[in-house]
A = this chain, B = another copy of it.
């Protein structure tokens, strides 16, 4: 077991914490760029809270609205240009993971002379970055407490990431009441994203990770318990708070300590996201049971047993393969019945026209996978999920 762990992000968690943002950012500068998506932050009070706090602290701001759910590199270039032209000293992402990811890339691109996509293709070009602050409105990507961001290149259909310790947010403001207005479909997709990050880590060939396996199981149980409650009762603060606090721990490095980090599901999903503008968490949920069925074997069944017993409470005295199959069915029930996530790729507008190119793009990422899949197996998997 060998790893580094370093997550210097300061988290302020709870109702009303975003009121503090002005005084928190002020030591970093007096000119901010607020990065956000649609109009939801204007409806739910986030925009008013943040701007009132900045005004009170004497921090000016510019705005980059309209960041896409799968943020495009064109938005990054636009944001970086605003920073360069106006001497922006810090960036505030107000929204979900897409805004945070886009804002991270802007923080780096603000100090780079050239197209932002270069920073995705060559992470070592990130030498300096503006300080980033996050006001989160959706529990999903965990970007509020890590160093990476996923960006899409609409020309090449490539979905890939920026990443550097310099891109860790300085302070993330997590107010679970800001997620009360997240619609059911986005709540479900966000929860599926948290769940998927966790199983990417959990289904791993390392066998000596008992402590962090238990942390991963707690994140999974949190999704299973509170995801459906958050959908039924959108203003249930206990549910929203537990999902919001579990989310970053699925991806900030703790549960990956000592692992090989194959991340197969994301490797399979990102090419789909490059070709089709789908919701990331839905794509992951749809692929998960098909991936599970493909990798279940004598070699992996023990991991499925732990998963079934410790996450879904399946009777440990049953036959291991029976437990494994029940665990896969329980996963499907959770995603598709309780959370009402679409069950097939067709339902979210994906057809089979680009399976060949998508599998071609996914195949090289399988080198470190828990169970490596060939290009043909990936196409089979996509087809099964259609």
Binding site for B on A (CB under 8 A): 1-15, 17, 176, 208-215, 217-219, 221-222, 225-226, 237-238, 241-242, 245-246, 249, 254, 257-258
Distance in angstroms from A233 CB to nearest chain B CB is 14
Which residue of B is nearest A6, CB measured? B10
Q: Is the CB of B13 within 8 A of A245?
A: no
Distance in angstroms from A379 CB to nearest chain B CB is 38
Q: Is the CB of A211 within 8 A of B1?
A: no
Question: With the chains together, A238 CA to B217 CA distance in Å?
Answer: 19
Distance in angstroms from A9 CB to nearest chain B CB is 8
Q: What are 24 pairs between A and B in contact, CB < 8 Å?
A: A1-B13, A1-B14, A1-B238, A1-B241, A1-B245, A2-B13, A4-B12, A5-B10, A5-B11, A7-B7, A8-B10, A208-B238, A208-B242, A211-B218, A211-B222, A211-B245, A212-B245, A213-B218, A214-B217, A214-B218, A214-B221, A217-B218, A218-B218, A241-B258
Question: With the chains together, A9 CA to B7 CA distance in Å?
Answer: 8
Which residue of B is nearest A14, CB measured? B2
Question: With the chains together, A14 CA to B217 CA distance in Å?
Answer: 24
Question: With the chains together, A246 CA to B214 CA distance in Å?
Answer: 10
Q: Is the CB of A222 within 8 A of B214?
A: yes
Question: With the chains together, A215 CA to B216 CA distance in Å?
Answer: 8
Count copies of this chain in the complex.
2
Q: Is the CB of B242 within 8 A of A210?
A: yes
Distance in angstroms from A4 CB to nearest chain B CB is 6
Q: Is the CB of A3 within 8 A of B14?
A: yes
Distance in angstroms from A339 CB to nearest chain B CB is 18
- A237 cross-chain contacts in B, Cβ below 8 A: 1, 208
- A208 cross-chain contacts in B, Cβ below 8 A: 237-238, 241-242
- A258 cross-chain contacts in B, Cβ below 8 A: 13, 241, 245
Which residue of B is nearest A225, CB measured? B210
Q: Is the CB of A13 within 8 A of B8?
A: no
Question: With the chains together, A217 CA to B217 CA distance in Å?
Answer: 11
Question: With the chains together, A222 CA to B214 CA distance in Å?
Answer: 9
- A8 cross-chain contacts in B, Cβ below 8 A: 6-8, 10
Distance in angstroms from A228 CB to nearest chain B CB is 14
- A225 cross-chain contacts in B, Cβ below 8 A: 210
The 10 closest A-B pairs by CB, nearest first: A214-B218, A2-B14, A8-B8, A6-B10, A208-B238, A5-B11, A211-B246, A211-B222, A1-B241, A211-B242
Q: Is the CB of B11 within 8 A of A6?
A: yes
Question: With the chains together, A13 CA to B211 CA distance in Å?
Answer: 14
Question: With the chains together, A242 CA to B9 CA distance in Å?
Answer: 24
Distance in angstroms from A211 CB to nearest chain B CB is 4
Q: Is the CB of B7 within 8 A of A13?
A: no
Question: With the chains together, A249 CA to B255 CA distance in Å?
Answer: 12
